[in-house]
Amino acid sequence: MGNRKYTAEALSPWMKEDAPDRDVVLSSRVRIARNLRHLPFPMMASAVQAAEAMDRLLLVNESGRLNGLGEVSSVRLSELSELEKQVLVEKHLISPALANQAQHAALMLGPGEDVSLMVNEEDHLRIQCLHAGFQLKETWDTASKIDDIFEEAVDYAFDEKYGFLTSCPTNVGTGIRASVMMHLPALVMTGQINRILSAVTQVGLAVRGMYGEGSEATGNLFQVSNQITLGQSETEIIDHLHAVARQIIEHEKAARAKLMNESRLKVEDRIKRSFGVLSYAAVIDAKEASQRLSDLRLGVHLGLLPGVDEGTLNELLVSIQPGFLQQAYGEALSPEQRDMTRAQMISSRLATHA
């Protein structure tokens, strides 16, 4: 594929679409883990077996079975530079695990970058679908249709008792991980976040940061996902997550209303101070930048920063990450240079909104 077209812009086309509850939910994601029958899982496969799995899965696209999705591009990870792989991770198009695969790993990407099919990551196939805003059920519908296409073309590893077999036991059963990426600044500011997140974990859901398992929830961004894949149907998993996410959305909106009713001046001061810092800082690290961009995003949705565009903030959220910064600069940067370049990039983008 023309690799550059997928790494040149921070925002994937799907991220630019208007969507339900976009003020709270950045994205809805469904990922399906599948393996091929009669081949060892990637971690146990020989080079020959891994290559066979990759060729069989890429053939599904090459044979035209995925044409209904538009022009799906296939690329072997060996064709990408380390920086290109890092940028794809920052855009959530591939996982860190796939980026670190040494051999026989591949990627199939839909034209809108809302479909990402990872080959020989932890499992032979990871089907990932993304939609803007709170569109969990629509995202599941897309992922399920793609799963059906592959199931008609290849034999999946399946057990009548346990369901779909996966490398990690926590994925056995349906193989589904569904999640919503939520921006919850008001719940954090009003001190309600720990209570909410505790309640979420008690009903069988997991809460992680922007980049999934092992990542910190910076910038008030929380990824809420299912933990259980065995013993529940796909519909039950999606419906449960959808119901809990809807409650969180309503709690966040209520907290925002409370802030505006009881602490409007204090909130406005915080937001405008963050705008000032981001507009004039000479250096800024990723953590502080993410937090202050969170303040600006809240300000936009509260009507306190009428001149600032949400799309610019969403783009900055990705483009201030290390891979994008180095790609924009054209060479490797030290942490200090990245902090300086990040500050310059943010300042330049916000200058038109001053």
Query: Is 213 one of the annotated binding-site residues?
Result: yes
* 211 known ligand binder: yes
Partnered with residue 173 across adjacent β-strands are 164
Residue 333 has pLDDT above 60, yes or no: yes
Does 342 belong to an annotated binding site?
Answer: no
User: Which of 352, 263, 281, 340 lies closest to 311 in space, CA to CA?
Assistant: 352
pLDDT bucket at 211, cuts 50 / 70 / 90: low
DSSP 3-state of 215? coil
Give me the amino acid identity at 84.
E
Report the predicted TM-score, pTM, of the whole model to 2 decimal places.
0.91
29 labelled ligand-binding: yes
> Is 181 labelled a binding residue?
yes
- Binding residue per annotation — 56? no
pLDDT bucket at 46, cuts 50 / 70 / 90: very high
Instruction: Judge whether 178 is annotated as a binding position.
Output: yes
Residue 126 labeled ligand binder:
yes
Tokens linked to 11: 């925002």
Is 212 marked as binding a ligand? yes
Q: To the nearest whole percent, how much of the chain has pLDDT over 70? A: 95
* Residue 180 is assigned to a ligand binding site: yes
According to the annotation, is 22 in a ligand binding site? no
Flag whether 70 is marked binding. Answer: no
Q: Are 50 and 120 in contact (CB under 8 A)?
A: yes
**Angle subtended at Cα 290 by Cα 217 and Cα 299, rounded to the nearest 5 degrees:** 105
The hierarchical CATH code for the domain 3-182 is 3.30.590.10
Domain ranges of the chain: 3-182, 264-353
Is 28 assigned to a binding site? yes
Is the pLDDT assigned to residue 67 strictly greater than 90?
Answer: yes
Q: What is the mean pLDDT of residues 60-68?
A: 95
Strands 73-76 and 106-109 come out as antiparallel
CB atoms within 10 A of CB 248: 23
d(CA 130, CA 143): 9
Considering just the CA atoms, what is the radius of gyration of the chain in Å? 21
Q: What are the C-alpha distances in Å from 139 to residues 21, 110, 351? A: 15, 14, 36
